[in-house]
Chains A and B, each alone.
With several copies, the nearest count.
Chain A
Amino acid sequence: MAITADVRIQSEPFDTGAEIASLSSGRRDNGALVTFSGICRDEAGTLAALEIEHYPGMAEAEISRIAAEAAERWPVTAITVIHRHGRIVTGDPIVLVMTVSEHRQAAFAAAEFMMDFLKSRAPFWKKEHRVDGSSGEWVDAKETDEKALTRWE
């Protein structure tokens, strides 16, 4: 469907409740709204924060392409993606994917699809800041994330 996703790359936190409200208000034809929030884990207490680097311009473009592909595959009526960059402390949200559809299966599938592709195709990189004060490693891409894409082929 010819919808335009609302894609935002920002360092500021976001308010999921406000995003839900803004997508659902004034709409009476949508039965299903799914949100996915990705939160910065503390990795068993060892991690203090992540520093997220991104490719300005391409990050927006690539996420918009992923959202357009999701909207091609499933009858969704709205998509919002917010991806943060910069320093994010544990417990804080990194990413929000929100999908709206008439039916639940489409909303779920589109959100899962986008998260799978964001993991391996959106140009972001995470560097660890450890609780002990050391600046840790760049987080390695997971093979399981790459493999997760094959189910959408």
Chain B
Amino acid sequence: MKLVYFAWVRERIGVAQEEVTPPESVTTVRDLLEWLRSRGEQYAEALKFPDAIRVAINQEHAGHDERIAGAREIGLFPPMTGG
């Protein structure tokens, strides 16, 4: 699946997007954040306060309990400051 990062999540992880294949045990958004944190220093730093991370699955807002099965694109980003 494709992961896309924005704002300080993007800056801290160091890439704007990447293709990943999480293990089968990763079923929810929360699992995904946990798994990403294990991937290295930048990920651990960017995602150290998971509650501060907002998530979109296929470009729609999603909660941390939501299942990621079938997601083509998951966006991870800080709280939005639109308008």
Contact = CB atoms under 8 A, between A and B. Distances in A.
Indicate whether A and B are direct neighbours in the complex (CB within 8 Å). yes
Interface of A: 38, 53-55, 57-58, 61-62, 83, 94-95, 104, 115, 118-127, 138-141, 146
24 contacts: A54-B6, A55-B4, A55-B75, A58-B59, A62-B60, A62-B61, A95-B82, A118-B83, A121-B80, A122-B80, A123-B56, A124-B80, A124-B81, A125-B7, A125-B80, A126-B81, A138-B7, A138-B8, A138-B78, A138-B81, A139-B81, A140-B79, A141-B79, A141-B80
B35 interface: no
Nearest to B82: A122
Interface in B62-83: 75, 77-83
Given A53-B6, A57-B59, A58-B59, A123 B83 contact: no
Contacts of A122: 80, 82-83
Interface in B29-72: 56, 59-61
Interface string B5-26: 0111000000000000000000
B82 A58 contact: no
Contacts of B79: 120, 140-141, 146
Interface centre among B6, B61, B79, B83 (most CB of A within 10 A): B83
B83 A125 contact: no
